[in-house]
Amino acid sequence: MSTLKIAVVQYDIQWLKKAANLTTLRQMIGAFFKDSKAINLMLLPETFSTGFCTSEPDVRESVDGGDDLLFLKEVATTYNCVVAGSVFVAQAEKKVNRFYWVWPDGQVAYYDKRHLFRLGKENDFVIQGHERKIIEVNGIRILPQVCYDLRFPVWSRNLQDYDMMVNVANWPAVRRSAWEVLLKARAIENQAYVVGVNRVGTDGRGVAHSGGSIILDYLGEPLEVAEDNCQQIITAELNFSALKQFKQDFPFYLDADEFKVSQ
């Protein structure tokens, strides 16, 4: 497949109100599909059902799957697309920040967040993921990342094993400029499409989020940008044949430095 049609959901996550958040998402997604053609991939923000509630011990799904995973399966089956978003999942005495990917046939893959947000004490309550993963959707290779991962380019370096990077986040408005610059840098340096999925609204700790969800091409140029402080679904159809040709014309990756990442 040379193209992939994606949808990015930017919305105001209500703090610790899972039922309300899932209701809002059902309404937004249902309204979107009434007016839109089929898509291949729908992306939700980090911790889409609860907000970034790291320290609350009860905010963690069963490792066998809870309400959040059932919701993702429901959306994937109903609208015949892959759906992805992150949730907290129980692991030992703590939890992991797990970025689930769910297919219409019930298949599930995931990536556990590698870089834990030390300033927010995420590392006190969440176990670090160690495995870099590539998720394939309709033949397109995707590198999943979660929020703070964006600041660490070695972890996201394209080893010529992915065509698109996706970062889902609860990125605060006060550091919005960093969000925009780093997403563009990841696209340019890795010669890949980059999708940033962020929330809006103020969370339960008083942290404001302005959005900035964006779909970038491999030159770092925006294809679609969500409105600030607005619940919205944006879409784009990405052309991977054009990406392949660009890399043939400008094979910068051939001069990349070799390295190994400690797991």
Is position 113 annotated as part of the catalytic site? yes
Q: Are the CB atoms for 16 and 59 separated by under 8 Å?
A: yes
Domain count along the chain: 1
Is position 46 annotated as part of the catalytic site? yes
Mean pLDDT of all residues in 121-136: 95
**Is it the case that residue 262 has pLDDT exceeding 80?**
no
Specify the DSSP class assigned to residue 48: T
Q: Are the CB atoms for 113 and 148 separated by under 8 Å?
A: yes
Q: Which domain holds residue 177?
A: 3-254
Which band of pLDDT confidence, cut at 50, 70 and 90, is reported for residue 59? confident
Q: Is residue 185 part of a domain?
A: yes
Q: Is residue 261 part of a domain?
A: no
Please enumerate in sequence order all residues whose Cβ is within 8 A of that of 48, keeping only pairs 6 or more positions apart, or say none: 9, 13, 21, 25, 68, 85, 86, 87, 168
Is position 227 annotated as part of the catalytic site? no
Catalytic position from the list 61, 81, 122, 147: 147
Q: Is residue 86 part of a domain?
A: yes
202/255 Cα distance (integer angstroms): 43
Q: What is the pLDDT of residues 4-22, one digit of tens each?
A: 999 999 999 999 999 999 9
Residue bearing the bigger pLDDT, 1 or 47:
47
Report the predicted TM-score, pTM, of the whole model to 2 decimal places.
0.96
Q: Is residue 250 part of a domain?
A: yes
Cite the DSSP H helix spans in the chain.
Answer: 18-35, 67-79, 122-125, 176-190, 240-249
Q: What is the pLDDT of residues 108-121, one digit of tens each?
A: 999 999 999 998 88
Q: What is the pLDDT of residues 219-242, one digit of tens each?
A: 999 999 999 999 999 999 999 999
Q: Is residue 209 part of a domain?
A: yes
**Is it the case that residue 36 has pLDDT exceeding 90?**
no
Catalytic position from the list 18, 46, 95, 247: 46
Catalytic position from the list 18, 73, 95, 113: 113
Could you tell me what percent of the chain has a pLDDT over 90? 89
Q: Is residue 259 part of a domain?
A: no
Q: Is residue 210 part of a domain?
A: yes
**Domain containing residue 248: CATH number:** 3.60.110.10
Q: Is residue 208 part of a domain?
A: yes
